[in-house]
């Protein structure tokens, strides 16, 4: 655990008592704070009470009178579509509002580091799509190279739940816009921006607010190195703002769509990763045969992870060897099984249109399982990517409405995962891929995208694969 610094003797309030909230409370108490906390759900309050955390309704009058700070869990809105009443109460009382990410960065360094040959480093990864795979891939490369590393944040352990790092240790954080938006302290050594596509727009008041939340990691944090995906205008803008000149190698540009100008760049075109620096190629990897990284979207993730590893001094051959053994993440282009020459791939994490497009483009002939709780913006942006789709099998409570938007695609309304998997398996031919890439949230039928992916895997297993 990372004890929170600067809170000894203070009373700190925690709003939201899920896993990260209770871990935050424990880390605050380890730092000498007295904690009062609240959760709007009775289950969260009961779990906290069982751990000896004092409960207090933080939205009631006077609840903030003796509180030095309010720490908010990521899922709780603090501005859009409306601030939680407890956050509004903190503003009214002049109480600073922060989150566990802010606490982590202000508490990470310790006096013990003075005895280290190499101070620990923090790698922070954000973006719309691919940040989980990128963060996990970075940590996998470091592990394979024999470097001490931990994975935390929006993936792995909570940031305050990790072990204090040792000499030369590396902490890899996946950070969502919910986490970067509110954190008062953001000071990574290396920051990564994968890409940007519309998501969580209600939470951020539109696309501008969403990008601004991501941009804070770079503008507020002042990282030593920035690795920026520049295949969207926002990435190009960010890289340009951070660079002092065309040759400024503090910024590494990443692309899977085109050749980049001079500077430090990592690109992947037609499956070949190339690192260029000072006008010459200094490293290359053939990504096409790496099973854990299929498709251009994963090649973008590989480019970002490669760039991070290079900033940490790892050789291209070491990185290539680690890539080859990367198993992939559950629910993200995860190969579940192969049956009579048909592959079954679980990409349940493809919860928005852009991530589903990337999943579809990774394969040539697809039996596509899609549908769920549709997000704002509709499905029109999907249609140009459906050329590889042999047939769609639509699930979800609004499956019929979802299917009618798939213009030009042979679509069958299945509603349930069991029926969709059975029908796709029955009709699939050798060389095809049965792909779960929903392009929608899961909450109409499942508690999470993980539960949806687990159901897909269970239905595939029931086929006798």
User: Which of 262, 292, 324 is the endpoint of a domain?
Assistant: 324
Tell me: is residue 130 an annotated ligand-binding position. Answer: yes
The CATH number covering residue 410 comes to: 3.90.190.20
Are 129 and 155 a contacting pair, CB within 8 Å? no
pTM recorded for the entire structure: 0.85
Rounded CA-CA distance 39/81 in Å is: 19
Rounded CA-CA distance 72/17 in Å is: 9
User: Which of 70, 98, 126 is the endpoint of a domain?
Assistant: 98
For tokens 């213009």, name the residue: 407
- Is the domain of 36 the same as that of 151? no
- Is the domain of 292 the same as that of 439? no
Per-residue pLDDT of the chain (465 residues; tens, 9 = 90+): 999 999 999 999 999 998 889 999 999 999 999 999 999 999 999 999 998 999 999 999 999 999 999 999 998 999 999 999 999 999 999 999 999 999 999 999 988 999 999 999 999 999 998 899 999 999 999 999 999 999 999 887 899 999 999 999 999 999 999 999 999 999 999 999 999 988 788 889 999 999 999 999 999 888 999 999 999 999 999 999 999 988 899 999 999 998 898 899 999 999 999 999 988 999 999 999 898 898 888 999 999 999 999 999 999 999 999 999 998 888 988 888 999 999 999 999 999 898 899 899 989 999 999 999 988 778 998 999 999 999 999 999 999 999 999 999 999 999 999 999 999 999 999 999 999 999 999 999 999 999 999 999 999 999 986
- Is the domain of 367 the same as that of 292? no
- Is the domain of 281 the same as that of 309? yes
Rounded CA-CA distance 294/20 in Å is: 32
Task: Specify if 305 maps to a domain.
Answer: yes
The pLDDT value given to residue 346? 95
Residues 6+ apart with CB under 8 A from 161: 1, 2, 23, 27, 152
Rounded CA-CA distance 322/401 in Å is: 44
- Is the domain of 182 the same as that of 302? yes
Tell me: is residue 65 an annotated ligand-binding position. Answer: no
Task: Specify if 447 maps to a domain.
Answer: yes
Residue in 367, 300, 256 with CA at minimum distance from that of residue 137: 300
- Is the domain of 117 the same as that of 223? yes
Neighbour order of strands in the sheet with 54-55: 54-55, 34-38, 11-15, 69-72, 97-98
Tell me: is residue 149 an annotated ligand-binding position. Answer: no
Task: Specify if 1 maps to a domain.
Answer: no
DSSP H helical ranges for 95-206: 100-107, 131-144, 177-182, 201-204
The CATH number covering residue 58 comes to: 3.40.50.720
* Domain residue limits at 30: 11-98
| pLDDT tens-digit map of 35-47 | 999 999 999 999 9
Six-digit token string for 372: 């769920």
Tell me: is residue 127 an annotated ligand-binding position. Answer: yes
User: Which of 59, 77, 98 is the endpoint of a domain?
Assistant: 98
The CATH number covering residue 152 comes to: 3.40.1190.10
- Is the domain of 134 the same as that of 75? no
Tell me: is residue 131 an annotated ligand-binding position. Answer: yes
The tally of domains found in the chain comes to: 3
- Is the domain of 317 the same as that of 370? no
The pLDDT value given to residue 236? 96
Task: Specify if 6 maps to a domain.
Answer: no
For tokens 């009709």, name the residue: 427
Tell me: is residue 407 an annotated ligand-binding position. Answer: no
Task: Specify if 4 maps to a domain.
Answer: no
- Is the domain of 288 the same as that of 434? no
- Is the domain of 153 the same as that of 22? no
- Is the domain of 67 the same as that of 167? no
The pLDDT value given to residue 465? 61
- Is the domain of 368 the same as that of 452? yes
């Amino acid at each position: 655990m990372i004890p929170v610094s600067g809170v000894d003797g203070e009373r700190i309030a925690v709003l939201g008592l899920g896993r990260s909230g209770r871990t935050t409370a424990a880390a605050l108490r380890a730092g000498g704070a007295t904690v009062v906390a609240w959760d709007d759900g009775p289950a969260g309050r009961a779990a906290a009470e069982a751990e000896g955390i004092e409960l207090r309704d933080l939205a009631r009058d006077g609840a903030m009178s003796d509180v030095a700070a309010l720490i908010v869990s990521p899922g709780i809105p603090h501005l859009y579509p409306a601030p939680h009443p407890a956050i509004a109460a903190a503003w009214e009382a002049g109480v600073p509002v922060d989150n566990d990410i802010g606490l982590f960065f202000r508490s990470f360094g310790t006096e013990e580091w003075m005895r280290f040959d190499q101070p620990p480093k923090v790698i922070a990864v954000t973006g719309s799509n691919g940040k989980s795979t990128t963060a996990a891939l970075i940590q996998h490369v470091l592990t394979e190279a024999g470097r001490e590393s931990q994975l935390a944040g929006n993936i792995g352990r909570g940031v305050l739940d990790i072990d204090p790092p040792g000499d030369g240790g590396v902490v890899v954080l996946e950070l969502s816009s919910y986490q970067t938006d509110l954190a008062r302290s953001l000071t990574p050594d290396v920051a990564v921006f994968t890409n940007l596509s519309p998501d969580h727009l209600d939470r951020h008041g539109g696309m501008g607010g969403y990008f601004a939340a991501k941009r804070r990691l770079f503008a507020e944090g002042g990282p030593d190195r920035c690795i920026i995906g520049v295949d969207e205008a926002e990435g190009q803008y960010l890289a340009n703002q951070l660079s002092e000149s065309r040759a400024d190698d503090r910024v590494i540009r990443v692309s899977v769509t085109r050749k980049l100008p001079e500077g430090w760049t990592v690109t992947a075109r037609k499956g070949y990763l190339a690192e260029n620096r000072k006008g010459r190629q200094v490293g290359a990897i053939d990504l096409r045969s790496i099973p854990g990284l299929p498709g251009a979207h994963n090649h973008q993730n590989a480019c970002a992870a490669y760039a991070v590893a290079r900033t940490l001094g790892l050789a291209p051959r070491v990185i290539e060897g680690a890539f080859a053994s990367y198993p992939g993440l559950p629910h993200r282009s995860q190969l579940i099984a192969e049956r009579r020459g048909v592959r079954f791939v679980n990409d349940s994490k493809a919860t928005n249109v852009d991530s589903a497009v990337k999943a579809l483009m990774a394969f040539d002939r697809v039996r596509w399982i899609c549908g769920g709780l549709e997000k704002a913006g509709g499905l029109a942006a999907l249609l140009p990517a459906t050329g590889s789709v042999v047939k769609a099998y639509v699930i979800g409570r609004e499956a019929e409405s979802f299917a009618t938007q798939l213009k030009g695609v042979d679509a069958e309304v299945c509603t349930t995962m069991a029926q969709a998997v059975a029908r796709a398996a029955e009709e699939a031919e050798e060389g095809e891929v049965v792909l779960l890439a929903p392009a929608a949230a899961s909450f109409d039928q499942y508690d999470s995208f993980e539960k949806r992916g687990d159901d897909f895997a269970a239905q595939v297993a029931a086929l006798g694969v």
